[in-house]
Structure 1
Amino acid sequence: MADKFAIITGASTGIGFELASIAAENGYDLLVVADEPLIEAAAADFERHGVSVRSIETDLATIEGVDSLLAAAEGRRVDLLCANAGRGLGHAFLDQNVDDWRRVIDTNVTGTLYLLQKVLKDMVARDDGNVLITGSIAGFIPGSFHAVYNGTKAFVDSFADAIRNEIKDSKGVTITTLMPGPVETEFFERADMLDTSVGASESKSDPADVARDGWDALMKGQAHIVSGWKNKVQAAVAHVTPAAILAEQHRKQAEPGSAADD
């Protein structure tokens, strides 16, 4: 058993998989979670680094799912939490099923906050621990045809800044927000966005690069990291561009059928 223990959510693929790989390489025992059976195969991959790995398949959109994750930690001190699990949903809001958009909110916001509250209480009590929250530059942009997702990421980005201030006297606890742009993962397929300009784009970031940026920022105790120079520029521009213009730009990227217009 290693001296260090990490919980990483959404670890079956994409950024979460890469974060778990880096943590394992750095000697962290792992508890990894996803809402799909693929998490078992991912766990076997992480074990190759010689650390102890436990995996759990559960739904982090529910309080019960988060509780089952925490129970799987078996009371072990959590040195690192990567709150990475997230869900998108494309198409026009008025056409979306209520259960679908609620699942996005419950995964990205409710489940994430509940997990953070549970883990951060212990970290702050002992004044030691590191948290990486996967936000997004989408939180800076009104997300036409991806409105619920972008809204949840605006919440997460803002929430992380607020909580970081609340616990500022706990010098041994750090909270880092990783804010990537579009990443080459299964995200767009699961969000039913493969017929959009952004979903079909071949210029998305490599999840390994995004995870490395997040990890490096986490280890330095940085508050934020926007991964990728193009995304840094986009984030900076978003802060000074009127919302109506940003929404129209996002529409061109995320409206169904926009891939055919490129």
Structure 2
Amino acid sequence: MPANKLAVVTGASTGIGLELARCCAEDGFDLVIAANEPAIEAAAAELRKIGGSVVAVQADLATTEGVDKLYAAVGDRPIDALLANAGVGLGNAFLGQDFGRVRRVVDTNITGTLYLIHRVGNEMLRRNSGRILITGSVAGFTPGSFQAVYNGTKAFLDSFSFALREELRDSGVTVTCLMPGATETEFFRRADMMDTKVGTDKKDDPHEVAKAGFDAMLRGDSDIVTGVKNKLQTTVANVTPNEVLAKQHRKMAEPGTAKP
């Protein structure tokens, strides 16, 4: 009897990542899931109830050592789907931020993600088979005043995903970019943004976001922007001057903009 397909999901302890892993499990994938916190074990226990094998890896995916630890946990099994979802945010004005935290946003969202995709993508390319889902963001369409580094990393990932997809066009490997808007997760609390409008406004459901991204990955679509409001936002952003977009973002993300 052939083995189940294998999916690797990062940032899978909570939020969109956990819901992406749930989608994989419900579709019959075995899982290797990773996050940088002990909660990844509780997530694994929850996912095992659905069925299939679930291996949990606690690793710092901002480092090459952490990515290597995750990759080693996969062993010799081919990876059928990589859902590169790990990411962190950071609010407040750039010059007032601790640079260690700034560096962590870049290393987690960009460097670690690229290293993992490079390792797994090469293995997929050798087999001419595989699906890669990258969690970008609609934030990548907007200069993110008071969230400048985070939005910049997502602009990078959005752009990178389309470029990699084109490079792999004639192979059996597909690349899909999931671009959600503000979603009901731990993101804004961890980014110190609970005193902002965007941090306290109503947000999208993480399971609905994940299911849309998962289905788009299986179809081999290039990208998916989740939610009507977010689709409209990206359309408007494409024809709005960056200076105006940055001013608009300030109203959402500047500390003290939360409704009393």
Fold agreement, TM-score > 0.5: yes
d(CA) in 1 for partners of 2:190 and 2:253? 14
Instruction: Note the alpha carbon deviations across 1:194-241, whole angstroms, 9 max, x for none.
Output: 000000112x10000100110111111100000001000000000000
| Cα deviation, residue 168, structure 1 | 1.1
- 2:175 counterpart residue number: 175
The amino acid that maps onto 1:92 is A
d(CA) in 1 for partners of 2:76 and 2:111? 23
1:17-36 aligned within 5 A: 17-36=18-37
- 1:195 counterpart residue number: 195
Give the conservation status (yes or no) of the 8 Å contact 1:198–1:259: yes
Please, which runs of 5 or more residues in structure 2 have no aligned partner?
A: none
d(CA) in 1 for partners of 2:10 and 2:154? 16
Instruction: Note the alpha carbon deviations across 1:179-201, whole angstroms, 9 max, x for none.
Output: 00000000000000000000011
The amino acid that maps onto 1:189 is R
Instruction: Note the alpha carbon deviations across 1:32-63, whole angstroms, 9 max, x for none.
Output: 00011000000001101120010011100000
d(CA) in 2 for partners of 1:3 and 1:200? 41
d(CA) in 2 for partners of 1:212 and 1:7? 16
d(CA) in 2 for partners of 1:49 and 1:235? 36
Partner-residue secondary structure (3-state), 2:49: helix
Instruction: Establish whether residue 223 from structure 1 lines up as the match of residue 218 from structure 2.
Output: no
- 1:163 counterpart residue number: 164
Instruction: Establish whether residue 149 from structure 1 lines up as the match of residue 134 from structure 2.
Output: no
d(CA) in 2 for partners of 1:199 and 1:93? 18
Identity of counterpart residues, as a percentage? 59
| Cα deviation, residue 101, structure 1 | 0.2
d(CA) in 1 for partners of 2:244 and 2:216? 31
1:1-262 aligned within 5 A: 2-170=3-171, 172-202=172-202, 204-260=203-259
| Cα deviation, residue 81, structure 1 | 0.4
Partner-residue secondary structure (3-state), 1:175: strand
d(CA) in 1 for partners of 2:54 and 2:184? 26
d(CA) in 1 for partners of 2:51 and 2:253? 42
The amino acid that maps onto 1:36 is E
d(CA) in 2 for partners of 1:124 and 1:226? 26
d(CA) in 1 for partners of 2:211 and 2:77? 26
d(CA) in 2 for partners of 1:12 and 1:116? 20
Partner-residue secondary structure (3-state), 1:231: helix
Partner-residue secondary structure (3-state), 1:244: helix
CA RMSD of aligned residues (A): 0.9
The amino acid that maps onto 2:137 is S
Please, which runs of 5 or more residues in structure 1 have no aligned partner?
A: none
Show structure 1 runs of 4+ deviating over 2 A.
none
Give the conservation status (yes or no) of the 8 Å contact 1:2–1:28: no
Partner-residue secondary structure (3-state), 1:101: helix
d(CA) in 2 for partners of 1:5 and 1:63? 22
d(CA) in 2 for partners of 1:25 and 1:161? 28
d(CA) in 2 for partners of 1:173 and 1:10? 22
d(CA) in 2 for partners of 1:230 and 1:216? 20
The amino acid that maps onto 1:196 is T
Give the conservation status (yes or no) of the 8 Å contact 1:2–1:27: no
